[in-house]
Structure 1
Amino acid sequence: MSFLNDLLGGAQANSAGGSSLVAIAGQLIDKAGGVQGLVSMLQQHGLGDAVQSWVGSGTNQQVSGEQLGQALQNGGLGSVLQEAAGKLGVDQNQLIGQLSQVLPHAVDHLTPDGQVPEQGQGGFDLGSLASLAGKLLGGNKTA
């Protein structure tokens, strides 16, 4: 768990784009075209039910690192994962495993009303995820 804590802790100091899991989740959302783009892409690549649970108001359905990695790779975000793993000095599969725990919370956090924001409703702001690291470390949100 120290790997997760180290990366999440870095999000508070580097909320403007540091090499934390929350920042990487933000990069993935941004590169996918916002929350709507990421949700759509993950649905198209086999994670429809899980993603709907992240958006909805119920419990977030878990996905494995393998499932998430495959969906992100197939959705064209493999280069983001590769670059992030390189910056962090970790194995890409280890990074994806950790992201499979964080990304559901990020999508849930960015869809507080159970609705995916429409594309064009302002740009994605990494600052909107800044409080997420504290919530994840503090355990305020159940998965």
Structure 2
Amino acid sequence: MSLLDTIGSMFGKSPQEGGSQQALIASVMEFINNQPGGLNGLIQRFHENGAGEIISSWIGTGENKAISAGMLQNVLGSETVTNLAAKTGVEPEQVTGLLSQVLPHVVDAATPNGEVPADGKVEPSNLMGALGALSGLFGNKQA
């Protein structure tokens, strides 16, 4: 079973019904891994755009700070948001709202024990623990 199939089953949706959420999570992982420097590059981008404290909370072992869709739009930039929207089939106006819910969990799961992987890559195996939290975001209380 692929990671996307696992995500879909946790959301209680078939790939057709849960396609947007699955595609968004896959796109977030791809987006992070394709940053210059991977996760380290994304962290730097947040720091450069005034959201360093927020992403640091996602990496740390404490509570994840929320990020607004507007702040995320500022950090990522319009071009990135438009590209993610095209990949996931979600309207650009919705991407930052969805990302503001998903990205903290992805970054948190990718940094176990508050440590960024040396290569800065997000591995699907690191995300399995976060899928329960993500499933709650999409309305399924099963874990």
Task: Please indicate, yes or no, whether the TM-score normalized by the shorter chain is above 0.5.
Answer: yes
Alignment of 1:105-124 (within 5 A): 105-118=105-118, 120=119, 123-124=121-122
Shift of 1:19: 5.5
Shift of 1:138: 4.8
The TM-score, its normalising length taken from structure 1, stands at: 0.70
| 8 A contact 1:29–1:35 mirrored in 2 | yes
- The one-letter amino acid of 1:112's match is P
| Alignment match, 1:20 | 23
Distance of aligned partners of 1:72 and 1:11 in 2 relative to their CA distance in 1, 3 Å threshold: farther
Shift of 1:43: 1.3
| Alignment match, 1:72 | 76
Structure 2: gaps (5+ residues): 1-6, 16-20, 138-143
Alpha-carbon distance in 2 for matches of 1:43, 1:10: 35
Greater Cα shift, 34-43 or 85-94: 85-94
| 8 A contact 1:19–1:84 mirrored in 2 | no
| 8 A contact 1:11–1:19 mirrored in 2 | no
Aligned length, in residue pairs: 122
Q: Helix, strand or coil: the match of 2:112?
A: coil
Shift of 1:39: 1.1
Q: Helix, strand or coil: the match of 2:113?
A: coil
Which structure's relative contact order is higher, taking Cα pairs within 8 Å and 6+ residues apart?
A: 1
| Alignment match, 1:3 | none
Alpha-carbon distance in 1 for matches of 2:51, 2:102: 15
| Alignment match, 1:57 | 61
The TM-score, its normalising length taken from structure 2, stands at: 0.70
Shift of 1:135: 3.8
Alpha-carbon distance in 2 for matches of 1:100, 1:82: 15
